Structure 1
């Protein structure tokens, strides 16, 4: 069930990312577009990129969950948890998935956990950085719009 949620998040996230990036790029490429509108367009593009990167990480996590749930020959220790030394891998009794930050963790018999390398290391920092820049640009656009409306006297 968790793998289905992760892969659904991947599909929805990639669709949203594509829409935002295309909308921002089309808007930014219009001739005669005022320079003051460019931060809004860039915020859309970077927001779409942030969603796309996070969705890509969800696909990696979903694949790790599918491998962990796959039974049969060669299923012990869990495939995503084999990237450590063999003495630690044979002590794995389960796994956990965290969404913020996105990660797949292997749970050991003593209750400790360690992060598997299923989610690439660049996913969380890239998603965080892109989203912070996008939110900052969007906030600047809103503040600028409010400032202009107050100068014109149209602010309520």
Structure 2
């Protein structure tokens, strides 16, 4: 069930990124003033941030799918085998974290370790691009308020 939820969330992220991209290009070509360019930048950078997070969700979803795959060779959990056979034999469960986005393997001794299922650039890239998009959005909003002509 978790895999299906992650897959649907990744697909929703792809749709949202597409909508933001279209709106960003429309804003870029509609207005030539500074607030229009900042709004377009906010939408386009936000689209990249959402797409990057959706990519990370797909990677976590694939790791969950491998972890929930039963049958011959299903123990230890597939994504947790990268730590080596001695550590992997101690794995009792797995956990998914959404912020930061990662797949963790729980050990019988009470510890846990993070696998390389999600590329290392996903969380910092998403946070950085999200901050840039938010900054551009705030600047576009304040610039638009200052530039508006007085209503007669």
| TM-score > 0.5, shorter chain as reference | yes
Counterpart mapping for 1:1-156 below 5 A: 1-30=1-30, 33-148=32-147, 152=150
Counterparts of 1:33 and 1:143, CA distance in 2: 16
Match of 1:82, SS state, is helix
Counterparts of 2:18 and 2:90, CA distance in 1: 42
Which is bigger in relative contact order (C-alpha 8 A, separation at least 6)? 2
Alpha-carbon distance change, 51 to 65 in structure 1, aligned in 2, over 3 angstroms: same
Match of 2:96, SS state, is strand
TM-score by length of 2: 0.93
Alpha-carbon distance change, 68 to 103 in structure 1, aligned in 2, over 3 angstroms: same
1:89-126 Cα shifts (integer Å, max 9, x gaps)? 11000000011111100000011110011111111011
Q: More displaced, 65-74 or 17-26?
A: 17-26
Unaligned runs of at least 5 residues, structure 2: none
Counterparts of 1:153 and 1:26, CA distance in 2: 26
TM-superposed deviation, 1:82:
1.0
TM-superposed deviation, 1:144:
1.9
Unaligned runs of at least 5 residues, structure 1: none
Match of 2:74, SS state, is coil
Q: What CA RMSD, in Å, does the superposition of the two structures yield over aligned residues?
A: 1.8
Q: How many residue pairs align between the two structures?
A: 152
Counterparts of 1:47 and 1:113, CA distance in 2: 33
TM-superposed deviation, 1:35:
3.6
Counterparts of 1:62 and 1:103, CA distance in 2: 10
TM-superposed deviation, 1:153:
7.5
